[in-house]
Amino acid sequence: MTRNERAPGSGDRPPGAGRLLIGAVRHTGGRLSLLIALMVLSTAASLALPALLAAAVNAVLHGDSGAAPALAWGAVMAAGAVCDTLMAPLGAVCAAQGTRWLQQRTVGHLLSMGGRSPVPAGEAVSQVTQAAQQAGALPVAVAGWGVTVTGSAAALAALLWLDWRCGLAFLICVPVTVLIARRFVGRVTRVYGDYLSAQSGIAVRLLAALTGARTIRASGTLDRETDRVLAPLREVSVAGHRIWRLQKGTVWQFGLLISLTEALVLGVAGLGVVDGRLSPGQFVAVAGYLQLAFPAVQQIDVFFTLAQARAAAVRLAGTFAHAAVRYGTAAAAPGAGAVSFRGVTVRAAATDGAGGAEGTARAAVLDGIDLDIPAGACVAFVGRTASGKSALAGLPGRLADPDEGEVLLDGRPVRELAEGPLRDAVTYAFERPALLGGTVREAIGYGRPGLPRSAVRDAARAAAADGFVRKLPEGYDTPLERVPLSGGERQRLGLARTLARPARVYVLDDATSGLDTVTEAEVSAAVTGALIGRTRIVVAHRVATAARCDRVVWLDGGRIRASGPHAELWHDPAYRAVFAADEAGDGAGIGDDAQAGDGGSSGTGGGPDGAFDDARDAVTDNMSDGTRRRRYAAHREA
Amino acid sequence: MPHIVKRDPGLRLLREATAGSRRPLVRALGWSAVQAAPALASGRMLATALDRGFLAGRPATGLLWLAGIAALYGVRAAAQRAVFDPLAAIVEPMRDALVRRVVRGALGRAVHEGLPGAGPDAAGVTRLSSQVDAVRGTTAALLRTALPLAVNLLAALIGLASLDLRMAVVVAVPLLAAIAVFVPAMRALTRRRAAFLLAEERVAAATGSVVAAARDVAALGARDAALAEVRVAAEDSARAATTVAWANALRVPVILVGGQLPVLGLLLAGPSLVHRGEVSAGAVIGAVSYVTAFLIPALQQMTGSVAGFWSQLRVLTARLAATSAGPGPSGPAAGRRPLGAAELAVHGLTFAYGPHSAPVLRDVSFTVPVSGHLVLVGPSGVGKSTLAGLLAGIGRPDAGRVELGGRPVAGLPEAVRAASIALVPQEAYVFPGTLRENVAYLAPDATDAALNRAVAAVGMRPLLDRLGGYDADLTDPAGTLSSGERQLIALARVYASAARLVILDEATCHLDPAAEAVVESAFARRPGTLVVVAHRLSSAARAEHVLILDAEGHAFGSHGELLATHPGYAALVGHWDAPLPAPVP
Q: pLDDT of B471-482, one tens digit each?
A: 988 887 877 788
Contact residues, chain A, for B424 at CB < 8 Å: 215
* Per-residue pLDDT at B213 exceeds 60: yes
Residue of A61, A230, A467 lying closest to B274 (CB–CB): A61
Residue of A214, A223, A274 lying closest to B333 (CB–CB): A223
State the pLDDT at residue B26.
92
Distance in Å from the first CA to the final CA of chain A: 62
SS (H, E, C) B434-471: EHHHHHCCCCCCCCHHHHHHHHHHHCCHHHHHHHCCCC
Say how many C-beta atoms besides its own lie within 10 A of residue B29's C-beta. Answer: 16
Q: Is the dihedral of CA A342, A343, A348, A352 positive or negative?
A: negative
- Judge: B106–A280 Cβ closer than 8 Å, yes or no: no
Contact residues, chain A, for B253 at CB < 8 Å: 81, 85
The H or E element spanning position A239 is helix A233-275
Query: What radius of gyration do chain B's Cα atoms show?
Result: 36
Contact residues, chain A, for B488 at CB < 8 Å: none
Residue of B242, B275, B359 lying closest to A65 (CB–CB): B275
State the pLDDT at residue A460.
92
3-class secondary-structure state, position A252:
helix
**Rounded CA gap, A92 and A104, in Å?**
18
Q: Nearest Cα to A550, choosing from A624, A485, A442, A619? A: A624
Query: B410 falls in which pLDDT band (50, 70, 90)?
Result: confident
- Judge: A259–B70 Cβ closer than 8 Å, yes or no: yes
State the pLDDT at residue B406.
84
B217 and A117 in contact (C-beta within 8 Å)?
no
Q: pLDDT of B422-460, one tens digit each?
A: 999 888 899 888 999 999 999 888 899 999 999 999 999
Q: pLDDT of B60-103, one tens digit each?
A: 898 899 889 889 888 988 998 899 999 999 999 999 999 888 88
State the pLDDT at residue B460.
92
Query: What radius of gyration do chain A's Cα atoms show?
Result: 35
B519 and B491 in contact (C-beta within 8 Å)?
yes
Q: Which residue of A has its CA nearest to B427?
A: A603
In sequence order, what are the residues at sequence separation of 6 or more whose Cβ sits closer than 8 angstroms to the Cβ of residue A580? none
Complete DSSP assignment for B251-319: HHHHHIIIIIHHHHHHHHHHHHHHHTTSS-HHHHHHHHHHIIIIIHHHHHHIIIIIHHHHHHHHHHHHH
| Bridge partners, residue B349, by sequence | B364
- Least confidently predicted of A403-407, A575-579, B378-382, B412-416: B378-382
Burial B466-501 (b: 16+ CB within 10 A, else e): ebeebeeebeebeeebebbbbbbbbbbbbbbbbbbb
- Judge: B213–A103 Cβ closer than 8 Å, yes or no: no
Task: Report the gap between the CA of B127 and the closest CA in chain A (Å).
Answer: 10
Low-confidence ranges of chain A (pLDDT < 50): 1-11, 351-359, 581-638
Task: Report the gap between the CA of B449 and the closest CA in chain A (Å).
Answer: 23
- Interface probe for B, chosen from A35, A46, A87, A111 (most Cβ of B below 10 Å), is A111
**Rounded CA gap, B260 and B291, in Å?**
8
Residue of B292, B414, B429 lying closest to A215 (CB–CB): B429
In sequence order, what are the residues at sequence separation of 6 or more whose Cβ sits closer than 8 angstroms to the Cβ of residue A405? A341, A342, A343, A344, A345, A368, A369
Residue of A69, A494, A603 lying closest to B427 (CB–CB): A603
Report the helix count and the strand count for chain B, using DSSP H and E. 25, 12
Please tell me the total number of residues recorded for chain B in this structure. 585
Q: Where are the alpha helices (DSSP H) in A163-211?
A: 164-211
Residue of B76, B96, B110 lying closest to A210 (CB–CB): B110
- Judge: B214–A436 Cβ closer than 8 Å, yes or no: no
| Bridge partners, residue A554, by sequence | A382, A562
Say how many C-beta atoms besides its own lie within 10 A of residue A637's C-beta. Answer: 8
Task: Report the gap between the CA of B583 and the closest CA in chain A (Å).
Answer: 7
- Least confidently predicted of B113-117, B418-422, B443-447: B113-117
Task: Report the gap between the CA of A414 and the closest CA in chain B (Å).
Answer: 13
Contact residues, chain B, for A220 at CB < 8 Å: 330, 333, 336, 414-415, 417-419
Q: Which residue of A has its CA nearest to B123?
A: A122
Helix, strand, coil proportions of chain A in percent (round to 5)?
A: 60, 10, 30
Residue of B54, B119, B260 lying closest to A602 (CB–CB): B119
Contact residues, chain A, for B415 at CB < 8 Å: 220
- Interface probe for B, chosen from A612, A621, A625, A630 (most Cβ of B below 10 Å), is A612
Q: Which residue of B has its CA nearest to A291?
A: B293
What one-letter code names the amino acid at A338? A
Domains of chain A: 15-156+303-326 (no CATH), 339-350+363-637 (3.40.50.300)
Task: Report the gap between the CA of A307 and the closest CA in chain B (Å).
Answer: 23
A509 conformational bin, left if phi > 0, alpha if psi -120 to 50, beta if neither:
beta
- Judge: B74–A89 Cβ closer than 8 Å, yes or no: no
Q: Is the pTM of this model over 0.90?
A: no
A381 and A540 in contact (C-beta within 8 Å)?
yes
Q: Nearest Cα to A505, choosing from A327, A348, A341, A624? A: A341
| Bridge partners, residue A564, by sequence | A552
- Judge: A447–B129 Cβ closer than 8 Å, yes or no: no
- Judge: B73–A259 Cβ closer than 8 Å, yes or no: yes
Q: Which residue of A has its CA nearest to B354?
A: A473
- Judge: A263–B70 Cβ closer than 8 Å, yes or no: yes
* Per-residue pLDDT at B400 exceeds 80: yes
Residue of A260, A484, A614 lying closest to B73 (CB–CB): A260
Residue of A218, A221, A494 lying closest to B423 (CB–CB): A218
Burial of A577 per CB tally in 10 Å (0-12, 13-18, 19+)? exposed
Chain-centroid distance, C-alpha A339: 34
Cα→Cα distances B236→B6, B42, B189, B203, B242, Å: 21, 49, 17, 9, 10
- Judge: B203–A128 Cβ closer than 8 Å, yes or no: yes
Q: Which residue of A has its CA nearest to B112?
A: A217
Contact residues, chain B, for A31 at CB < 8 Å: none
**Rounded CA gap, B67 and A267, in Å?**
9
Residue of B96, B207, B274 lying closest to A129 (CB–CB): B207
Q: Nearest Cα to A566, choosing from A587, A586, A552, A576? A: A552
Q: Which residue of A has its CA nearest to B218?
A: A114
Q: Nearest Cα to A448, choosing from A497, A412, A493? A: A497
The H or E element spanning position B344 is strand B344-351
Q: Nearest Cα to B495, choosing from B520, B476, B468, B469? A: B520
- Interface probe for A, chosen from B211, B257, B353, B438 (most Cβ of A below 10 Å), is B211
Query: B380 falls in which pLDDT band (50, 70, 90)?
Result: low
Compute φ and ψ for A110, nearest 5 degrees.
-60, -40
Q: Is the dihedral of CA B450, B451, B452, B457 positive or negative?
A: positive
Task: Report the gap between the CA of B260 and the closest CA in chain A (Å).
Answer: 8
A107 and A316 in contact (C-beta within 8 Å)?
no
**Rounded CA gap, B529 and B404, in Å?**
10
Residue of B216, B255, B359 lying closest to A430 (CB–CB): B216
- Judge: B285–A284 Cβ closer than 8 Å, yes or no: yes
Helix, strand, coil proportions of chain B in percent (round to 5)?
A: 65, 10, 25
Q: Nearest Cα to A475, choosing from A526, A501, A523, A439? A: A439
State the pLDDT at residue A64.
62
Burial of B580 per CB tally in 10 Å (0-12, 13-18, 19+)? middle
- Judge: A501–B220 Cβ closer than 8 Å, yes or no: yes
State the pLDDT at residue A13.
67
Residues above pLDDT 90, as percent of chain B: 21
- Judge: A567–B509 Cβ closer than 8 Å, yes or no: no
A105 and A37 in contact (C-beta within 8 Å)?
no
**Rounded CA gap, B375 and B387, in Å?**
12
SS (H, E, C) B60-90: HHHHHHHHHHHHHHHHHHHHHHHCHHHHHHH
Contact residues, chain B, for A119 at CB < 8 Å: 211
3-class secondary-structure state, position A429:
strand
Complete DSSP assignment for A170-183: HHHHHHHHHHHHHH
Domains of chain B: 9-114+123-324 (1.20.1560.10), 344-573 (3.40.50.300)
A508 and A538 in contact (C-beta within 8 Å)?
yes
Q: Which residue of A has its CA nearest to B105?
A: A226
Cα→Cα distances A588→A272, A606, B278, Å: 83, 10, 92
Contact residues, chain B, for A515 at CB < 8 Å: 380
Q: What mean pLDDT do residues B105-129 have?
A: 67
Task: Report the gap between the CA of B418 and the closest CA in chain A (Å).
Answer: 5
